[in-house]
Structure 1
Amino acid sequence: MEFRGAFTALSTPFKDGEIDEATYRDFIEWQIEQGIDGLVPCGTTGEAATMSHQEQGQTIKICVEQAKGRVPVIAGAGSNSTKEAIELTKMAKEAGADAALQITPYYNKPTPGGLVEHFKAIAKEASMPFVIYNVPGRTGLNCLPEHLKMIVDAVPEAVAVKEATGNMTQAAQVIEQCGRNFNLMSGDDFTVLPLLAVGGCGVISVISNIMPAAMSGMVKAFFEKDLDKAIDLSLKMAPVNRAMFMETNPIPVKTSLAMMGLFKDAQFRLPIVPLQEENKPKLEAVLKNAGVL
């Protein structure tokens, strides 16, 4: 399976503390209308860390139902507990997701051998395509290219990586270790274009929540060898990318969605809190400059 293009790490709307299904369905529809290439429910941006397993299963199911096979769905299903990751992956598979996003176990800091056994155990119980999620800034563990190669060799389900280090040397070494046919996806919106240049196939993006046409257009332009257009779109998104991380993701992006009227408001679950008041005018100014508002 090839994961080519821009995939949105979907923000999850809440209403009175619960998942706002109607708004979520409308948001997914808007993403597809805007030309997004794929959808990723229940990732970091979707606040899966504060969802129950039942809520994760519900969210994935809504996304798959609404997508109706028009674009692939990569469902967040990872955990630092192998047992929990197996349960979540089973739910993603039963819901009809095309792949499961599998984070490297956080906090535990497993050895490379432990990583291999973790993903082998999940695959044994719930075999489906896996996108390994490497985000050391959140997990405390960097899955190096040689360790990823160990996983890929031992677990045929591991067909892609979401590489969120922002390190282009490491990204290039992933292709060197795992081959040209391996799906290297960016998990860092700041470095999508250079990652494509070293052999990447796409991105799982935060900014595409609010600028799906720009991000999907940039990736498409790159593959159509229209580098000038790709660079122009990259430069257009650059200040918005910075704004999306003025506070912890997903605070700015969800606030932006509320400003755009795509979400009714920006509700979060603790320990995530709303955007600081002094940052709201700064965010609004960036969005207006980019033509988003």
Structure 2
Amino acid sequence: MIRGSLVALITPMNPDGTVDFDSLDALVDFHLAAGTHGIVAVGTTGESATLPVDEHLAVVTRVVDRAAGRLKVVAGNGANSTAEAIELTQAMSHLKLDAFLNVTPYYNKPSQKGLIAHFEAIAQSSEIPQILYNVPGRTAVDLLPETVAELAKNPKIQGIKEATGSIERLRQIKALVPEDFSLLSGDDATSFEFLKAGGHGVISVTANLTPEKSAKICDLTAQGQYDEAKAIDDGIQVLHKDLFVESNPVPVKWALYRMQKIPFCIFRLPLTMPEPNSQKVIEQALLETGLIND
């Protein structure tokens, strides 16, 4: 089972727009040292939408090699074309991955029947387990609990990243799926409540900045130490909020640059640098949480 704190890792880039593999190695090392339980490579936060297949594969391969089995590695493999998602999945299936993270197909707004057919086809294309990813705020399609339950019957579909932020949605899904089906929060602001309500982990943007705290929250809630976990989470709620002052991953990438964890703050178009007012908001959050000094 995939559980604990999984960081939705950014993809660092050079001024010429190429992937900065040296900084990628350093970020993996940062998470290894901090006790992060797993890395999600080239998901939304990793700018999957603008990395072509060869770069996507290169980044995931580098993360797998650097992690060297010391933590779990999950690779984004979603697309709004089933054929494209299968092609991407098969291109990475030789790697030592723990799972794929498969986002609901965006823009074309399929029916629940179409979603089942989409995910079933992708699951059959690889022996590596699939984690569903429901984020209707980005994709304009909602993977309903009954649909998740149907997909959970497939032994290759072993969990879901649920990013609606609804604890009631978690309860609905939990009541319908097997006990060993991984329930992962995709909403940092509500992730503690998600864990307390029986979730198994979180795929976190905030964990890019606070890996030790994010892992500790997961560890404590798994042990039933909710007060201690909530105290830590309360201390980083400002990050949960302000890292979304603009579209992810713009704020978190700028924050890592401001923390000197990456040497450049470069995005693939159409993403651009955060606006000056947003930079001030993010910087204040970093100051409040002690991640920068001035």
Q: TM-score, normalised by structure 2?
A: 0.97
Cα RMSD for the two superposed structures = 1.0
d(CA) in 2 for partners of 1:57, 1:279:
32
Aligned residues between the structures: 291
Give the Å deviation of 1:39: 0.3
How many angstroms does 1:110 deviate by? 1.4
**Secondary structure, in 3 states, of the residue corresponding to 2:124?**
helix
Inter-partner Cα distance in structure 2 for 1:105 and 1:281: 34
Q: Spell out the pairing of 1:26-45 with structure 2 (5 A cutoff).
A: 26-45=26-45
What displacement does 1:282 show? 2.3
- 1:126 is aligned to 126
Deviation at 1:198, TM superposition (A): 2.1
* 2: CA distance, partners of 1:247 / 1:125: 36
1:78 matched residue in structure 2: 78
Q: Which position in structure 1 is the counterpart of 2:171?
A: 172
Secondary structure in 1 aligned to 2:27? helix
1:177-216 mapped onto 2 (5 Å cutoff)? 177-216=176-215
Question: More deviation in 122-131 or 136-145?
Answer: 122-131
The aligned residue for residue 3 of structure 1 is 2
Q: Does structure 1 retain, via aligned residues, the 8 Å contact 2:100–2:128?
A: yes
The offset of 1:223, in angstroms, is 1.3
Q: Which amino acid is the alignment partner of residue 278 of structure 1? A: N
Distance 2:195 2:179 in 1: 12
Counterpart amino acid of residue 123 in structure 2: A
Gaps of 5+ in 1: none
User: Which has the larger displacement, 85-94 or 264-273?
Assistant: 85-94
**Post-superposition shift, 1:116?**
1.4
**Aligned counterparts of 2:144 and 2:125: Cα–Cα separation in 1:** 25
The residue correspondences of 1:43-54 to structure 2 (distance < 5 A) are: 43-54=43-54
The structural deviation recorded for 1:225 is: 2.1
Q: What SS does the aligned partner of 1:125 have? A: coil
Partners of 2:67 and 2:145 in 1: CA distance: 33
**What is the deviation of 1:279?**
2.2
**Aligned residue number for residue 281 of structure 1:** 280
* 2:81 maps to amino acid: S
Separation in 2, partners of 1:226, 1:55 = 41
Q: CA deviation at 1:45?
A: 0.4
Output the CA distance in 1 between the equivalents of 2:125 and 2:230: 43
Per-residue CA deviations over 1:16-71 (Å, capped at 9, x if unaligned) read 10000011001111111011000000100000100001110001000100000000
CA contact (8 A) 2:196 2:226 kept: no
Gaps of 5+ in 2: none
Amino acid at match of 1:167: S
CA contact (8 A) 1:180 1:199 kept: no
CA contact 2:35–2:212 (8 Å) conserved in 1? yes
Question: Which string of whole-angstrom CA distances, capped at 9 and with x for unpartnered residues, describes residues 220-245 of structure 1?
Answer: 11112222210111101101111100
Q: Which moved more, 1:107-116 or 1:136-145?
A: 107-116
| Counterpart Cα distance in 2 of 1:91 and 1:209 | 27
Could you tell me whether the CA contact under 8 Å between 1:57 and 1:95 is conserved in 2? no
* % identity of equivalent residues: 37
| Structure 2 residue identity aligned to 1:145 | P
2:259 is aligned to: 260
Contact 1:115 1:151 in 2 (8 A): no
CA deviations 1:190-220 (Å, max 9, x no partner) are 1111111222100000000011111111111
Which residue of structure 2 lines up, in the alignment, with residue 116 of structure 1? 116
* Paired letter, 1:13: P
In structure 1, distance between residues paired with 2:197 and 2:221: 12
Cα distance, 1:180 vs. partner?
A: 2.5
Displaced runs of 4+ in structure 1, greater than 4 A? Answer: none
CA contact (8 A) 1:60 1:97 kept: no
Per residue, is there more helix in 1 or in 2? 1
1:145-204 C-alpha deviation (Å, 9 max, x unpaired):
101111112x22110000000011111111101133211000000111111122210000
